[in-house]
Amino acid sequence: MATILITGANRGIGFAMARQAAARGDTIIATARDPGKAGALADLATETGRITIRALDVTDEASVAALAAQTGEAIDLLVLNAGLLNSYGGLTDPNHSAEAWRDVLMTNVAGPFLVARDLLAHVERSAGRKIAIVSSVMGSNERASGNAYPYRASKAAAVNVARNLATELKPRGIAVGAYHPGWVRTDMGGNGADISVEESAEGLLARFDALSMKTTGVFEDYRGDGIPF
Ligand SMILES: NC(=O)c1ccc[n+]([C@@H]2O[C@H](COP(=O)([O-])OP(=O)(O)OC[C@H]3O[C@@H](n4cnc5c(N)ncnc54)[C@H](OP(=O)(O)O)[C@@H]3O)[C@@H](O)[C@H]2O)c1
């Protein structure tokens, strides 16, 4: 059984992945920005006995460094799931402020980079040696539909980070993939989205299981369909 660290595990897809991975017998380090408000995750930790909750803000270097220092375990699979979508419209959408750009780029691009950097030693000394970045099909340059500029750009950059990590870490035997979780009914995806968190999490965990040094650098969805980039 694996040890899996999942960022942004207090709600949404991250929470569902933590629940399913714990149910199959994995050990989970589940991060939340504010563990004091992560009631459902705390209940799940009590129920399963397989989840340790840690505080993490992926945009804060001190917080990332503290997580690395607190984590003694080797990490077989690092799931960089925490993400932010804060503006949706076309070019003139007033919500595309400089602050919105900063927040989304720090969360969706710098966040996975900083956590991968500081937890790399934990991944390297594990048997699993995998890093998964949850990106989005909205980051695909082939599917640029002219809206949600900061988010789309951030998710394209997240795939770029994954591809560069895959190249740099290949000689060290660490596999890295980027994933689209589907359009999922969460706070971010909304009630009208296509699939449940359970379906997305089940698919993603299966894709992470399938990730190997042969497939490192992959960008695919929760069903295993490759995404043109
Ligand atoms: N839902 C979809 O349809 C969809 C589609 C494509 C891609 N995705 C991607 O899938 C991932 C999960 O999405 P979701 O739908 O589950 O979103 P969600 O329900 O909005 O949950 C987002 C999670 O990320 C955490 N987070 C946000 N900013 C953070 C930060 N600075 N530091 C640490 N944690 C932070 C949130 O913590 P708080 O509770 O503290 O805010 C929360 O746990 C994201 O990367 C998202 O971009 C989602």
Domain at 171, CATH number = 3.40.50.720
The pLDDT-based confidence of 77 (bands split at 50, 70, 90) is very high
What is the per-residue pLDDT for 60? 98
In a domain, 199, yes or no: yes
| Ligand 1 pocket, residues with Cβ under 6 angstroms | 7-8, 10-14, 33-34, 56-59, 81-85, 107, 134, 136, 180-181, 183-184, 186-189, 193
Q: pTM for this structure?
A: 0.99
Residue holding tokens 């042969």? Answer: 214
- Distance separating alpha carbons of residues 96 and 174, to the nearest angstrom: 36
In a domain, 129, yes or no: yes
Atom 47 of ligand 1: nearest residue by CA position: 83
The pLDDT of 155-169, averaged and rounded, is: 98
What is the per-residue pLDDT for 26? 98
Domain that holds residue 76: 3-221
From residue 163, alpha-carbon distances to 83, 121, 177, 186, 218 in Å are 18, 19, 8, 27, 8
What backbone torsions phi and psi does residue 208 show, to the nearest 5 degrees? -65, -40
The pLDDT-based confidence of 27 (bands split at 50, 70, 90) is very high
Q: Which residues are catalytic?
A: 151
In a domain, 118, yes or no: yes
Atom 43 of ligand 1: nearest residue by CA position: 8
Mean pLDDT of the chain: 98
What is the per-residue pLDDT for 187? 98
In a domain, 130, yes or no: yes
The pLDDT of 66-95, averaged and rounded, is: 98
In a domain, 229, yes or no: no
Domain count, the chain: 1
> What ligand 1 atom has the least distance to the C-alpha of 138?
6
Name the packing angle between helices 61-70 and 111-124 (round to 10°): 20
> What ligand 1 atom has the least distance to the C-alpha of 184?
3
In a domain, 191, yes or no: yes
What is the per-residue pLDDT for 162? 98
In a domain, 227, yes or no: no
What is the per-residue pLDDT for 105? 98
- Distance separating alpha carbons of residues 203 and 229, to the nearest angstrom: 20
The pLDDT of 129-145, averaged and rounded, is: 97
Long-range contacts of 107-110 (CB under 8 A, 24+ apart): 107/58, 107/59, 107/82, 107/83, 107/154, 108/83, 108/84, 108/151, 108/154, 108/155, 108/157, 108/158, 109/154, 109/157, 109/158, 109/161, 110/58, 110/59
The pLDDT-based confidence of 3 (bands split at 50, 70, 90) is very high
The pLDDT of 146-154, averaged and rounded, is: 98
In a domain, 226, yes or no: no
The pLDDT-based confidence of 114 (bands split at 50, 70, 90) is very high
